[in-house]
Amino acid sequence: VGRWTPRSARGLVSSCQARLPAARSRPLASGSRRNVRPPCRARAVAMPFLHGFRRIIFEYQPLVDAILGSLGIQDPERQEPLDGPSYVASEESRLLVLTELLERKAHSPFYQEGVSNALLKMAELGLTRAADVLLRNGANLNFEDPVTYYTALHIAVLRSQPDMVELLVRHGADINRRDRIHESSPLDLASEEPERLPCLQRLLELGADVNAADKHGKTALLHALASSDGVQIHNTENIRLLLEGGADVKATTKDGDTVFTCIIFLLGETVGGDQEEAQMINRFCFQVTRLLLAHGADPSECPAHESLTHICLKSFKLHFALLRFLLESGAAYNCSLHGASCWSGFHIVFERLCSHPGCAEDESHAELLRKAETVLDLMVTNSHKLQLPENFDIHPVGSLAAKIRALHCSLRQLESYPPPLKHLCRVYIRLYLQPWPVDAKVKALPLPDRLKWYLLSEHSGSLEDQA
């Protein structure tokens, strides 16, 4: 401390010294002298443990400042872009100055800490050539920022510097290293913002473990989903890249969160909210669900509160477009693990119809009935054998009770007879043409138009546009 006390440090020292308990004044014996120590020595005794940002200020910050100064950087926080023609033209000479500085300071105290901390600044600014010089002159790749505990690789990802990411990994940085505070890997951080997509792609190309999980069981895919709000942050491309890189759609956290947890939460946010934001959220949920299903995710697994199909069935009027897509894509309308004994789409739809008695002039109930008919038809169209739940009885009331009862009876009749051969052919041909959408594939088949129209569900169409 006595070797170097910058002006900026004096206030810190004074404030720290002020927190120390004041020594009690004692009467001095006759002829005795008060032992008064010099201020700097008193500070050295009072603060024996220097760590974190204090260590930067008191020990190796002068070297960091000198390194930045040799590169023409006075204030990293307010530094103008360094990719301008003037800086690029002078970069060669600046690197020579940096190399000479490092040679002169190579045996100075706290040299490695200084160059390692300067490497963090290079990672932040994306100065790959300067970072390479520091690495060849003793910078430690595992050095952590004393405040955030991020390494240079974490910082390069946060600042979206893909070339710096590659340089650090090529020099031996641990591509899967997690920080000490949040336990986030570089891939986790890259997955959380659309602007970091180039870093995400570079990390995957360099061999990052796409299915590595933190202490909570959260993978990069779950990070990308949880960080999306569907309005300001759309991580659709990040999610696509992770899935194409082999991300496991069955990943589950220790709290039971799945790939559909975020989508279910966002769908709940559309209720009673701003209409424009609700449309944006619905569009995002549709796009992400389509990606997840294309890579094998099952939206109909239990528990029910984590099943996207179950949630959409419970509110089929509100989430009608997404439910249509799920059923068109072959999603099970019963629990895919335990069948109708766990939960059944037929039971949920009729329960919703019977809980809304309505009246003859009630347009909302008529619309609910029309959508229910569509949903039920899609269930029948895409199932080779109808699976109605046990004790499937209903007690409708109101003006539309007769229509609801007739709908229920038609399903009972379908269940009691074996499905026709043409129906089975339609189901299996549509399954063979998965993934969704199958309409264009059906129209391309070398079949008569009449058969094509039979293969096409009357309720399919511009689903994505409606979503």
pLDDT for 220-240, tens place per residue? 999 999 999 999 999 999 999
User: Is the residue at 35 inside a domain?
Assistant: no
Does residue 237 sit in the same domain as residue 162?
Answer: no
pLDDT at 13: 36
pLDDT at 34: 40
Determine how many CB atoms are found less than 10 A away from the CB of residue 436. Answer: 21
User: Is the residue at 21 inside a domain?
Assistant: no
Indicate the residue among 115, 138, 173 that finishes a domain.
173
Most confidently predicted of 50-54, 76-80, 193-197, 427-431: 193-197
3-class secondary structure, 246: coil
Does residue 160 sit in the same domain as residue 180?
Answer: no
pLDDT at 78: 58
pLDDT at 365: 80
Does residue 60 sit in the same domain as residue 166?
Answer: yes
Burial (0-12, 13-18, 19+ Cβ within 10 Å), 97: middle
d(CA 260, CA 257) in angstroms, rounded, equals: 8
The residue with tokens 């600046």 is 94
d(CA 251, CA 222) in angstroms, rounded, equals: 8
Q: Taking a C-beta distance cutoff of 8 angstroms, is the pair 67, 118 a contact?
A: yes
Indicate the residue among 268, 297, 326 that finishes a domain.
297
Does residue 150 sit in the same domain as residue 58?
Answer: yes
In this model, does residue 170 exceed pLDDT 90? yes
Distances (CA, A) of 17 to 12, 137, 286: 8, 37, 59
pLDDT, mean of residues 414-436: 83
Q: What is the pTM of this model?
A: 0.80
CATH code, domain carrying 268: 1.25.40.20
Does residue 168 sit in the same domain as residue 264?
Answer: no
User: Is the residue at 338 inside a domain?
Assistant: yes
User: Is the residue at 353 inside a domain?
Assistant: yes
DSSP 79: P
User: Is the residue at 465 inside a domain?
Assistant: no
DSSP 147-199: TT---HHHHHHHTT-HHHHHHHHHTT--TT---TTT---HHHHHHT-GGGHHH
* Nearest alpha-carbon partner for 184 in 226, 223, 239: 223
Number of domains in the chain: 3
pLDDT at 382: 78
Looking at every residue in the chain, the average pLDDT score rounds to 84
pLDDT at 455: 84
| Strand-pair partners of 334 | 344
d(CA 399, CA 290) in angstroms, rounded, equals: 38
Does residue 166 sit in the same domain as residue 273?
Answer: no
* Nearest alpha-carbon partner for 87 in 137, 133, 135, 126: 126
Determine how many CB atoms are found less than 10 A away from the CB of residue 367. Answer: 12
In this model, does residue 113 exceed pLDDT 70? yes
DSSP 346-408: HHHHHHHHHT----TT-HHHHHHHHHHHHHHHHHHHT-SS--PPTT------STTHHHHHHHH
DSSP 299: T
Furthest CA-CA distance within the chain: 121
Whole domain around residue 390: which residue ranges?
A: 298-417
Does residue 79 sit in the same domain as residue 190?
Answer: no
User: Is the residue at 167 inside a domain?
Assistant: yes
Question: Range with the lowest mean pLDDT among 40-49, 74-83, 361-370, 404-413?
Answer: 40-49
**Position 363: which residue type?**
E
pLDDT at 176: 98
DSSP 301: P
Does residue 215 sit in the same domain as residue 263?
Answer: yes
* Nearest alpha-carbon partner for 133 in 94, 107, 160: 94
Structure-model confidence comparison of residues 355 and 324, the more confident one: 324
Does residue 275 sit in the same domain as residue 331?
Answer: no
**Chain centre to alpha carbon of residue 180:** 20
User: Is the residue at 445 inside a domain?
Assistant: no
Q: What are phi and psi of 113, to 5 degrees?
A: -60, -40
Determine how many CB atoms are found less than 10 A away from the CB of residue 335. Answer: 21
d(CA 86, CA 119) in angstroms, rounded, equals: 23
Does residue 187 sit in the same domain as residue 288?
Answer: yes
pLDDT at 57: 59
* Nearest alpha-carbon partner for 424 in 368, 384, 365: 384
pLDDT at 372: 93
pLDDT at 363: 67
Does residue 84 sit in the same domain as residue 182?
Answer: no
Which residues are within 8 A (CB) of 443 and not within 5 positions of it... i.e. 6 or more apart? 452, 456
d(CA 258, CA 309) in angstroms, rounded, equals: 14
In this model, does residue 329 exceed pLDDT 60? yes
User: Is the residue at 96 inside a domain?
Assistant: yes
pLDDT digits (tens, 9 = 90+) for 364-401: 788 888 999 999 988 988 787 787 888 788 888 777 88
Most confidently predicted of 25-34, 57-66, 98-107, 365-374: 98-107
Structure-model confidence comparison of residues 206 and 91, the more confident one: 206
pLDDT at 55: 55
**Chain centre to alpha carbon of residue 277:** 19
Does residue 144 sit in the same domain as residue 81?
Answer: yes
User: Which of the four pLDDT bands, split at 50, 70 and 90, describes residue 439?
Assistant: confident
- Could you tell me the two tokens for 287? 């796009």
- Could you tell me the two tokens for 427? 């189901």
- Could you tell me the two tokens for 449? 């138009």
In this model, does residue 86 exceed pLDDT 80? no
Indicate the residue among 297, 314, 330 that finishes a domain.
297
